[in-house]
């Protein structure tokens, strides 16, 4: 009995069925979100979720041909904002409208949620944050974006965490960011924040140039990367105690970072890492080499100290935050405030928009 040799095309088809990319394999364990400002790689890496922020608005205004530019121009043409006499209030109104208009466009495009950045100038004002979120939510309602499609991104000061708690009680989904310590992560989870975001690489960068933070130093002494260690500890806390928060790892710098975090809910990965994953093939039989590092099962055996299991409040949070989290939180807030000021200054130059 003889068998005909398979054709070249049939071999290729068989090979394509047997091979998957590393990106396919890691996506089994975590939702991978492209870290990009303008979504200029829609086709290569379709985003599953999105964030709208002053930084995004600056990027849009720097690329006049982007599909989102009209959303900004329409905001600048808003008659209600234009009628405001106080220029500071007027341009704040324009920024809010632009955030919502772009957020509305993104909500039609991504299957997941759109997170809208709340003004960082309000980071230490609980009720100011809540008022701003209510205002943004009202504007989203005017353009028919349902609340369940939205998150509101709030800095993880104590006041921000408390605002998150109160908003979540209303059924409004919040996204707490600038978390650089376990105390912040635990307080955010206790508050019921829908999403908690930890910046892995920023903690690593701080540790390379500083010392004297007990939490960071303890991780290094154990031979652990402080950013990866914080994500692991926060994940284990959330899952061991049945809290609802989803955990997002950001500032992921390379493939090894990503592999070390498999199992976390969301990983924000830069395009260069995604491209490398997409170009690297993995055979399905070898998918178990991509080990799930974080799971509810491993979380159940993690041991926390008595001090880590307290009910966090403003005083205990302040005393537990070391220099790394204090300095990185302050730097993050400064960056957000600077971006907001740049947007308002830019809007002052291009208002009123032409041809609207």
Q: What is the pLDDT of residues 203-244, one digit of tens each?
A: 999 999 999 999 999 999 999 999 999 999 999 999 999 999
Strand 266-270 relative to strand 31-35, pairing: parallel
21 is a domain residue = no
- 14 within a domain of the structure (yes/no): no
Contacts of 128-137 spanning 24+ positions with Cβ under 8 A:
129/154, 129/159, 129/160, 129/163, 130/163, 130/166, 130/167, 133/163, 133/167, 133/172, 133/174, 135/96, 136/96, 136/99, 136/100, 137/172
What is the Cα–Cα distance from 173 to 195, expressed in whole angstroms?
8
Nearest to 177 by CA among 336, 339, 11: 336
Selecting among 97, 132, 153, 233, the annotated active-site residue is: 153
Residue 122 structural domain: 30-350
pLDDT at 323 over 80: yes
pLDDT at 7: 45
How far from each other are the two terminal CA atoms of the chain, in whole angstroms?
A: 76
Contact 198/156 with Cβ under 8 angstroms? no
3-state secondary structure of 249: strand
Evaluate whether residue 3 is within a structural domain.
Answer: no
pTM exceeding 0.85: yes
199: which strand partners? 250
Cα–Cα separations (whole angstroms), residue 207 to 36, 178, 210, 248, 317: 26, 16, 5, 21, 21
323 vs 342: CA distance, rounded Å: 28
Residue 313: strand pairing partners: none
Is residue 168 assigned to a domain? yes
Q: Range with the lowest mean pLDDT among 22-26, 116-120, 311-315?
A: 22-26
Length of the chain: 356
Q: Choose among 245, 147, 236: nearest CA to 195.
A: 245
Give φ, ψ of 8 to 5 degrees: -60, -40
Predicted pLDDT at 353 = 73
- Please determine, for residue 327, whether its predicted confidence score (pLDDT) is greater than 90: yes
Give 336-348 pLDDT, tens digit per residue: 999 999 999 999 9
> Within a domain: residue 18?
no
Could you report the per-residue pLDDT of 139-175, keeping only the tens digit for each? 999 999 999 999 999 999 999 999 999 999 999 999 9
Q: Note the pLDDT of residue 45.
A: 81
CATH number, domain with residue 35 = 3.20.20.70
**What is the number of domains present in the chain?**
1
Tokens encoding 120: 């960082």
Instruction: Kindly state the percentage of the chain with pLDDT values over 90.
Output: 82
Largest CA distance in the chain: 91
- Other CB atoms within 10 A of residue 65 CB: 5
What's the mean per-residue pLDDT of the chain?
A: 91
Each residue's pLDDT tens digit, 40-85: 566 778 888 999 999 999 999 988 788 899 999 999 999 999 999 9
Encoding tokens for residue 187? 């307080």
Compute the C-alpha angle 9/289/13, nearest 5°.
10
Q: Is residue 333 part of a domain?
A: yes
Is residue 15 in some structural domain? no
The phi-psi region of residue 245 (left if phi > 0; otherwise alpha if psi is between -120 and 50; otherwise beta) is beta
Whether residue 66 contacts residue 77, with contact meaning beta carbons closer than 8 Å, is answered with no
Upstream peptide bond of 28 is cis (omega within 30 degrees of 0):
no
Is the confidence at residue 17, as pLDDT, over 60?
Answer: no
Query: Is 153 marked active-site?
Result: yes
With cut-offs at 50, 70 and 90, classify the pLDDT of residue 6.
very low
- Nearest to 201, CA basis, from 340, 45, 324, 338: 324
Q: Which three-class secondary structure state does DSSP give residue 198?
A: strand
In a domain, 19, yes or no: no
């Amino acid at each position: 009995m003889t068998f005909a040799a398979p054709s070249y095309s049939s071999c290729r088809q068989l090979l394509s069925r047997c091979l998957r990319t590393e990106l396919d394999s890691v996506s089994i364990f975590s939702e991978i979100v492209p870290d990009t400002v303008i979504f200029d790689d829609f086709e290569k890496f379709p985003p599953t979720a999105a964030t709208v922020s002053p930084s995004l608005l600056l990027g849009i205004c720097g690329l006049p041909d982007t599909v989102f530019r009209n959303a900004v121009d329409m905001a600048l043409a808003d008659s209600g904002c234009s009628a405001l006499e106080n220029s500071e209030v007027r341009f704040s109104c324009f920024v809010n409208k632009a955030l919502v208009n772009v957020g509305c466009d993104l909500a039609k495009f991504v299957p997941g949620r759109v997170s809208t950045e709340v003004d960082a100038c309000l980071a230490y004002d609980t009720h100011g944050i809540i008022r701003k979120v209510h205002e943004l939510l009202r504007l989203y309602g005017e353009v028919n974006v349902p609340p369940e499609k939205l998150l509101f991104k709030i800095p993880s000061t104590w006041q921000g965490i408390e605002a998150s708690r109160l908003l979540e009680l209303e059924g409004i989904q919040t996204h707490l960011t600038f978390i650089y310590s376990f105390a912040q992560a635990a307080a955010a989870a206790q508050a019921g924040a829908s999403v908690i975001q930890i910046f892995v690489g920023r903690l690593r960068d701080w540790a390379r140039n500083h010392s004297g933070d007990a939490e960071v130093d303890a991780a290094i002494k154990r031979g652990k990367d402080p950013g990866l260690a914080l994500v692991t500890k926060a994940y284990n806390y959330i899952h061991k105690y049945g809290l609802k928060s989803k955990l997002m790892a950001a500032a992921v710098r390379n493939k090894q970072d990503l592999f070390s975090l498999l199992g976390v809910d969301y990983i924000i990965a830069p395009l260069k890492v995604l491209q490398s994953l997409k170009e690297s093939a993995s055979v399905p039989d070898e998918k178990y080499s991509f080990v799930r590092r974080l799971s509810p099962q491993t979380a159940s055996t993690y041991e926390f100290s008595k001090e880590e299991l307290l009910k966090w409040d403003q005083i205990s949070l302040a005393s537990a935050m070391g220099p790394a989290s204090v300095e990185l939180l302050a730097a993050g807030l400064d960056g957000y405030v600077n971006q907001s000021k740049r947007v308002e200054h830019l809007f002052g130059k291009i208002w009123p928009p032409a041809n609207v």
